[in-house]
Structures are given as C-alpha cells and as structure tokens.
Amino acid sequence: MSRSAPPQEDTVRLGTIEPLRRADLPRVVGPLALLGPGVVLASFGFGSGELIWWPYLTAKYGLALVWLMIPAGLMQWWINYELARYVVLTGESPWAAYTRISRVFSLLYWAFAIVTLAWWGGYASAGATAIAALTGLPPGWSARDQTIFWTLISIVLSYAALLLSRTVHRIVELFMSACIVIGAGGVIVVAFHPAVSGHWPEFVRGLFTYNPLPPNWDPADNS
C-alpha cells in the first residue's frame, strides 16, 4: 500500500518577517505584453554613467578604462536578474527581501536610496546643461542661467507628470520609450560616423585589455 505524500504547508517561512503564502506562478504572457516593462528596464541602462561619466572619462583618459565596461555590465545584469527572479517567485518587492534579511539592512538601503534620489537635481542639471548648449535658449542669458532655467523646467515637468497622470507607469513607459529610441539611435549614428568608425579596432582592443589607472589620473576624479 503506497503512502500519499504529506500535504504541503500553505506558507513558507523566509527571513524575519511574516511567512510567504504559497500560490501559483503568474501566467506567462506574450512578448508584446512584456514590451512596455522591458522598455522601462532597458532604459535603466541610460543613466548618469552612460551619459556623463563614460564620455567624460573617455575624453580625458582615452580608452584606458574601457575594459571596466564588461565587469560593470555583467554585475548589473546579475543583480537585476536575481532581483527579477525574486519578484516573480514571491510577488514581493526587493525592499521586502532586504527586510527579510534584516531590518537594519533594509534601513541602510532605504537611507542609500534617499541619498541617491536627493541627487535628482544634479541629474536634472546635467541634462539641462546639454539642452542649454544645444538650443542656446533663452537667448541673451548666461550659460549658467540657461542651465538653471532648463533644470527647473525638467523638474517641474517630471513632478507634473507624476502627480497629474492617471497612470504613472504609462507616462514613465512613454518617456522611457522616447529615451530608448533617441539614445540608441544616437549611439548607432555616432558609432558609424567616419570620425568614429575608424577607431573600432582600437576600442575592441581596449575592451579586452586590462589597464591600471592612467598615469595622468586626476585625484579629483576619485569623488
């Protein structure tokens, strides 16, 4: 006489807070349904590093630090992939996972996030500097005043979109879609420009060649 398997418990204890409830995995959706969230996720790649630091470091030190792109990209992929797996399997946000590890650990991450978000003005001013340089608007203003003008405009528009939109995710999705098209399209155009395409072999060699800090490294760049 065969014995039936013992019934599974309805909950799974994980970490220091209330246990997880067993449930079926979400239904697998088609690729088109994933396009919107995928665009938002892909747009995370267009951050301050890509728009500010990499161009700055390359202009200042050439291809000496290009090799860092591979470990940095792999690390970012691994972290995002594992966080996505946790969300799918548990239905909880990564912040809940941090709390399950330790409430102190979660508080430290919250503090880090608050400090990071406090830099939003810096991100806005970096983009505003580019807009001011490209447009020269408002006319007759100094470069500093033009940057401040576009910084305030971008902050006001961002908060207005978040506060007035009935579906915040839709606004973010549309904005990020535009960023992906403009950013990726711009990268392709620049990469195939004759002034740039001739440096492809040098770039590939630098990508797979480890280099320590350049001899002309500026200590001010440590911060």
Cα separation, 108 vs 140, in Å, equals 46
Per the domain annotation, does 5 fall within a domain? no
Residue 190's pLDDT is 86
Looking at the structure, tell me whether residues 133 and 159 fall in a common domain. yes
| Domain count of the fold of the chain | 3
Looking at the structure, tell me whether residues 157 and 178 fall in a common domain. no
Predicted structure pTM score:
0.57
Looking at the structure, tell me whether residues 63 and 97 fall in a common domain. yes
Per the domain annotation, does 28 fall within a domain? no
Per the domain annotation, does 61 fall within a domain? yes
CB atoms within 10 A of CB 148: 16
Phi-psi region of 22 (alpha: psi -120 to 50; beta: other; left: phi over 0): beta
Per the domain annotation, does 216 fall within a domain? no
67 contacts: CB under 8 Å, gap ≥ 6: 206, 207, 208, 209, 210, 211
Cα separation, 123 vs 117, in Å, equals 10
Per the domain annotation, does 109 fall within a domain? no
Looking at the structure, tell me whether residues 154 and 181 fall in a common domain. no
DSSP 28-97: PPPTTTTHHHHHHHHHTTSSHIIIIIHHHHHHHHTTTTGGGHHHHHHHHHHHHHHHHHHHHHHS--HHHH
Looking at the structure, tell me whether residues 78 and 91 fall in a common domain. yes
Per the domain annotation, does 136 fall within a domain? yes
Residue 180's pLDDT is 75
- Per residue of the chain (223 residues), what is the pLDDT tens digit? 445 444 456 777 777 777 777 777 777 766 666 665 555 555 555 555 566 677 778 888 888 888 888 887 788 788 878 888 888 788 888 888 888 888 888 888 888 878 777 777 777 887 788 888 888 899 999 999 999 999 899 888 877 776 776 666 667 777 777 777 887 788 888 889 888 888 889 888 888 888 888 888 888 777 6
Cross-strand bridge partners of residue 20: 12
**Domain boundaries, position 147:** 119-164
Looking at the structure, tell me whether residues 180 and 159 fall in a common domain. no
Looking at the structure, tell me whether residues 143 and 173 fall in a common domain. no
Residue 182's pLDDT is 80
- Helix axis angle for 103-117 and 94-101, nearest 10°, is 140
Q: Rg of the chain's alpha carbons, rounded to an integer? A: 23
Per the domain annotation, does 38 fall within a domain? no
Per the domain annotation, does 172 fall within a domain? yes
- Contact at 8 Å (CB) between 91 and 25? no
- CA-to-CA dists, residue 67 to 14, 30, 163, 219, 222, angstroms: 39, 36, 41, 20, 18
